Amino acid sequence: MAGASKEGFSGIVNLTPHKIALCHLIQYFAPAAHSSLPIPFKSVSQHNRLGLFLFSLTRACNDFVEPSLDELITQFKAVGVGGFEYDWFVDWLIEDLTSRLSALSSPDDLYNFFEKLRGILSPAEVTNMEDEQCFLDPSSHLGVFIRCCILAFSILTFEGVCHLLSNMAAYCNSTDPMYGLPEEDAFNTDPVLQESHEYHELNRASDKYIHDFEAGSSAGESSSFHIQAGRPLYGVPDKLFLRSKWQIQGYLNEQADLLERHAGSFRFNTFEATLKHLQKMAPDMHHVKYLRYLNNLYNDDYLSALDNLHCYFDYSAGMEGIFTGSSAPPVSGIQVGRYESALLCLGIMHTRFGHSKQALEALTEAVRISQQNNDDSCLTYTLAAMCDLLSKIGICSTSGIIGSQYSLGLGTPLSTQQQLLVLLKRSLKRAESLKLTCLVAFNRLALAGFYLKHVNRPLLSFGPKASIKLRTNPTHVCKELRLSSYLLSEFGSDGLSLPNDGGTFSTAWLKNLEKLINSPTSFNGKRTNDYDTFHFTSQPNPIPGSVLQLAGASYLLRATSWELYGSAPLVRSNALIYATCFADSASSSELSLAYCKLIQHLAVFKGYKEAFIALKLAEEKFSSVSKSHIHLLKFQLLHERALHRGQLKLAQQVCDELGILASSITGVDLELKTEASIRLARTLLAANQFSQAAAVACSLFCECYKFNLHVENATILLLLAEIHKKSGNAVLGLSYALASLSFCRTFNLDLLEASTTLTIAELWLSLGRSHAKRASNLVHQTLPMILGHGGLELRARANIAFVKCHLCDPSFSVSDDAEMVLDPLRQAAEDLETLEFHEMAAEAFYLAAVVYDALGRAEEREAAAASFKNHIVALENPGSGSEDEQRNL
């Protein structure tokens, strides 16, 4: 226990009955040297458990009010015996404790108690201890706690002692079940009060408080209201005592973290009521207002969020150090105020609400003010926030939005992309020099994301023009991703730690204890995540959650980058790593993204049936998260399947839904918008409305070009080629396909490139027999990539193209080497049947029938023809989807 941090008690503690009870317990743990009788602990482990329990109680941040004596006793019982067996010793100890506490009935008793308390601290000069004697090191955590209590008592005024005494009486009486009940009844049955609106409000608020506990498990680990179970907020307010300041701060930080990670799954009103209550009890705790701001922010209440944000910074003057990690020491008593962090917060708030213009204004002002006040770390964070904003929103040009680019230090007018790169690099450099490890990792991730999607052009627009290869460089991406992971090792080696991490272990320990108390039987059997569920013997995790979250994000980005570069197995493995190793520290939205990637992989490689089973599981897991990736994924899968099955009506319906999702009122998500348009064009294509499909695709291309979404452009160009292929205009299709090919090469989109090459081959084939050789070459070129990484559909397409090439080739004779074409055809037919892709399956069977016919294998020919007929019939009578799917929509 020695060596525990002392930062916790920097301020004098407020003496409360709970603390006195703790002092008593510590006395049992380490009895004074001359105590009359030794405490008969049953075993060493029991003694140690008591120590750990006390340690946790003084550090835990799981609530802001102290537990009542009842709760303390319940917890103590569970800890004392390591379970719920009967133990006479624990019962005796509890009896003794309660009697000792109620014996404190006059101010003099208190004086004597604290006088005696000094005895348990070991004198400094004692070196040789007797074996049985357990001294409390005065500089250990509990020692510091005892000393703080003694100090707090010695500076207490007589009035304070009187208050403490009356509080003690209330505290001890709370174990009496009759306490307070009659009062409570009178309160509720008073008909006059029932009329009053305000009283209903109050009652409702307290009801909610209780309900939340009951339904607490649905919010997963985010529910932390266990302690207040069944205790109304109002009515008997004099029984609640605040914990020490840093414990409350820890509680608030933890809640803030939960809010940010599980946005949407927090119950707004409940938490608001809790915060209001806390604010009433501790009006100078301005941090509460910040929490209220966060709560409003994540529940999309713009006006209240704005008000609370301003209120918080007006009071705190930005001195509480949300961004710097530690509150700045006041410089020789003069407060300057760090309002730049207020602007940063305001910018982030506007970003979240999708007010990109205001967000930019706020952030620009934040940059200006942090430069003015020499607040480097805030400047760095602001730059990072600005990068985040610029990369998220579709601003085609910042001129006229950022008031003057000079204020950012960007001399010449630059495109948004170039600005973004400059800002990112500046932010990274600053973060590195300021040793803001987390921010470095964040910036590296952002840079990786940038390199992934943007060609790195030289910034100078004049001077000698070296011939530059306009290609993205995957090694850059790889490098940044690798570097960002150093974050973890730095935390391992440097022993860097974030403030307020002190309480996390204790908090988790006590929470587990709560679970044990609430469901003693199911505890051992059912653990949702072993990762942070430490039992009484386990070790705390040295790495803070936020760091883990960042480290996990790099795996998610890896998965995304492999998705673009076209390696399905790597996407899968990275997503799997994320979902298994970082699930506990991940935010719900990020975790759902990883799940999406896994499900998408399933859909492409195993067909829709399995994907939909997995989707159902995921939906249950993320049911509370609004506007999630899961929602989008469902539409994607439904649309894909409808197109394959030929259910055009259903596909159109899904498209409309997607369009609604894309026209969100809280800012425009360009990626979503593009997705919706592409799917619309594909639906039109499937319905053979070629000119409309081409028109949609063309306008989409223009838009994407405007917003520099080049990766998306490769896809759109390919789609255009497909449209022209299907409409019979192969020559025009070729030009689009070639354009798409060049985009793919520029951005190293290997799988898409293979797919494009295949399309080119198909286009050549459709131009006539004479081009079969060329087409055949192209198909052979793509086969390694496609067979290695492509999904079912792509593989089938390649196989069919391969067969077609051979059939067109005059030098190829079916009778010589029938398996050469039959094997790919069988493979393709199998894959396509899994996908329920009727149109192409029909084609495969048709080809097979032709081949069989040529071979004279009539029986197999008939079978293939029958399958062909089945698919054609299914395609022509698609039905409107099963009831299940309709309900899904």
Partner 1 sequence: MGSKESYRNELRSAIRQLGDRCLYSASKWAGELLVGIDQDQPRSSAIAGKATPSSSARPHHQQEHLHRDGSSFRRSRSRPGGDSEVFSATPSGGVSYVSTPSPVEDEIDDGADYYLLAKSYFDCKEYRRAAHVLRTQTSKKSIFLRCYALYLAGEKRKEEEMIELEGPLGRSEVCNGELTHLERELSALRRSGAIDAFCLYLYGIVLRDKGCESLACSVLVESVNSYPWNWSAWSELQGLCTTLDILRSLNLKNHWMKDFFLANAYQELKMYNEALAKYEYLLGIFRFSDYIQAQIATAKYSLRDFDEAEIIFEELLRIDPYRVDSMDIYSNLLYAKESFSSLSCLAHRVFLTDKYRPESCCIIANYYSLKGLHEKSVVYFRRALKLNRKYLSAWTLMGHEYVEMKNTPAAIDAYRRAVDINPRDYRAWYGLGQTYEMMNMPFYALYYFRRSAFLQPTDARLWIAMGQCYESVPLQMLEEAIKCYARAANCNDREGIALHQLAKLHSILGRSEQAAFYYKKDLERMEAEDRQGPNMIEALLFLARHCKAEKRIEEAEMYCTRLLDYTGPEKETAKSLLRGLKMAQSGFPSVEFEHFGP
Output the smallest distance, CB 420 to partner 1, in A: 21
Output the smallest distance, CB 305 to partner 1, in A: 12
The structure tokens listed for 615 are 């989707």
Residue 362 or 513 having the CB closest to partner 1: 362
Output the smallest distance, CB 138 to partner 1, in A: 23
First to last CA, the chain: 58
State the DSSP code for 83. S
Output the smallest distance, CB 313 to partner 1, in A: 8
Output the smallest distance, CB 168 to partner 1, in A: 15
Residue 83 to residue 191: CA distance in whole angstroms? 46
Residue 389 or 654 having the CB closest to partner 1: 389
Residue 296 to residue 273: CA distance in whole angstroms? 12
Output the smallest distance, CB 411 to partner 1, in A: 18
H-assigned helices in 118-239: 141-154, 158-173, 181-189, 191-195, 197-214
Output the smallest distance, CB 280 to partner 1, in A: 6
Residue 280 or 482 having the CB closest to partner 1: 280
Kindly list the distances between the CA atom of residue 875 and the CA atoms of 361, 609, 646, 841, in Å, as whole numbers in the listed order: 55, 19, 6, 10
Residue 193 or 738 having the CB closest to partner 1: 193
The per-residue DSSP string of 514-537 comes to HHHHH-TTHHHH--S-TTT---TT
Tell me the helices (H) and strands (E) count for the chain, helix number first.
40, 0
Are the C-beta atoms of residues 878 and 647 closer than 8 Å to each other? yes
Output the smallest distance, CB 285 to partner 1, in A: 5
838: nearest Cα among 644, 649, 652, 640: 644
Residue 33 or 151 having the CB closest to partner 1: 151
Residue 22 to residue 18: CA distance in whole angstroms? 6
Output the smallest distance, CB 198 to partner 1, in A: 4
Residue 186 or 873 having the CB closest to partner 1: 186
Output the smallest distance, CB 790 to partner 1, in A: 51
Output the smallest distance, CB 327 to partner 1, in A: 14
302-316 helix and 340-353 helix, angle to the nearest 10 degrees: 170
Residue 59 or 287 having the CB closest to partner 1: 287
The structure tokens listed for 140 are 């250990």
Residue 339 or 635 having the CB closest to partner 1: 339
Are the C-beta atoms of residues 385 and 341 closer than 8 Å to each other? no
Output the smallest distance, CB 749 to partner 1, in A: 41
Residue 200 or 609 having the CB closest to partner 1: 200
Output the smallest distance, CB 424 to partner 1, in A: 23
N residues, the chain: 889
The structure tokens listed for 511 are 């929470």
Output the smallest distance, CB 276 to partner 1, in A: 12
Output the smallest distance, CB 100 to partner 1, in A: 26
Residue 162 to residue 670: CA distance in whole angstroms? 65
Output the smallest distance, CB 150 to partner 1, in A: 17
642: nearest Cα among 839, 863, 811: 839
Residue 835 to residue 605: CA distance in whole angstroms? 9
411: nearest Cα among 465, 460, 367, 360: 460
Output the smallest distance, CB 604 to partner 1, in A: 47
The structure tokens listed for 799 are 């196989």
**Please, which residues have CB within 8 angstroms of residue 249's CB and are 6 or more apart in sequence?**
61, 285, 287, 500
69-81 helix and 44-59 helix, angle to the nearest 10 degrees: 140
Helix H or strand E segment including 565: helix 545-565
The structure tokens listed for 434 are 């300021």
Residue 32 or 240 having the CB closest to partner 1: 240
Residue 343 or 602 having the CB closest to partner 1: 343
Residue 159 or 883 having the CB closest to partner 1: 159
Residue 130 or 195 having the CB closest to partner 1: 195
C-beta atoms surrounding 789 within 10 Å:
20
H-assigned helices in 687-766: 690-706, 710-726, 730-746, 750-766
Residue 310 or 774 having the CB closest to partner 1: 310
The per-residue DSSP string of 320-375 comes to T-TTTSSPPPPBTTB----THHHHHHHHHHHHHHT-HHHHHHHHHHHHHHHHHTT-
Residue 335 or 882 having the CB closest to partner 1: 335
φ/ψ of residue 451, rounded to 5: -60, -30
Instruction: Round the CA-based radius of gyration of the chain to a whole number and report it.
Output: 34
Strand, helix or coil for residue 623: coil
Residue 245 to residue 252: CA distance in whole angstroms? 11
Strand, helix or coil for residue 399: strand
Residue 335 or 688 having the CB closest to partner 1: 335
Residue 306 or 855 having the CB closest to partner 1: 306
Tell the burial category of 425 from Cβ atoms under 10 Å away from its Cβ (0-12, 13-18, 19+): middle
Residues that bind partner 1 (CB under 8 A): 11-12, 14, 157, 159-160, 163, 183, 186, 190-193, 195-199, 202, 237, 242, 245, 248, 280-285, 306, 310-311, 314-315, 317, 319, 335-337, 339, 342-343, 346, 361-362, 364-365, 368-369, 372, 403-404, 407
